[in-house]
Amino acid sequence: MKKPQLIQFKQIGAPTLGYISVAEVEDNVPFEIKRVYWTYFTPNHVERGNHSHHALEQVIISVAGIISFEFESIDGEVFEFVLDEPSKGIYVPPGYWRRMKFSHNAVLLCMASELYDEKDYIRDYETFKKLK
Ligand code: T46
């Protein structure tokens, strides 16, 4: 089973110029991107996520602010990440329960392998654990 992993994007530029980082299929995005979405203005007491996906693959970037992530496999293996700079991302394979906390200024950008389909979500934790 594939595991969530940190992606370090190249930072092209210099402190005096500013930077650009690039997410590109066949380079650092391991799927064809079918959908892009972003979340913002999440109050910092709110936990988002609390679901898993059957098939969706994602690359997630915090383009502003700080976002902490916890991913849990069906077997209970836990992966934690903090995205605190725009040059970092996470590859998220299918099959991981996720929990996310945000600084209020955080903007989460997600590149996704599939169109939106609520049937791809598992939103009940007990149902998720029973998939084992
Ligand atoms: C994920 C994390 C990182 C749509 O109508 N279309 C869409 O493409 C998406 C992503 C969501 N929605 C609707 C479904 C819900 O009524 O937007 C509402 C909020 O979605 P959700 O509660 O799933 O939001 P998050 O922030 O918990 O999760 C989202 C993604 O859904 C999910 O795939 O991994 O961002």
CATH at 102 = 2.60.120.10
Query: Which long-range CB contacts under 8 A does 124-127 form with residues at least 24 apart?
Result: 125/50, 125/97
Ligand 1 in contact with 48 (CB < 6 A)? yes
Number of domains in the chain: 1
Distance in angstroms (rounded) separating the CA atoms of residues 65 and 99? 17
Convert the pLDDT of each residue in 63-119 to its tens digit: 999 999 999 999 999 999 999 999 999 999 999 999 999 999 999 999 999 999 999
Contact 67, 25 (CB under 8 A): no
Spacing, Cα 48 to ligand 1 middle (Å): 9
CB of residue 38 inside a 6 A radius of ligand 1: no
Query: Is residue 53 annotated as part of the catalytic site, yes or no?
Result: no
Provide the H-helix boundaries in the chain: 125-130
pTM: 0.97
Structural domain span for residue 87: 5-130
Q: What spacing in Å lies between the alpha carbon of 57 and ligand 1's midpoint?
A: 14
pLDDT digits (tens, 9 = 90+) for 88-97: 999 999 999 9
Q: Quick check: CB of 37 below 6 Å from ligand 1?
A: yes
Asked if residue 19 has pLDDT above 90, the reply is yes
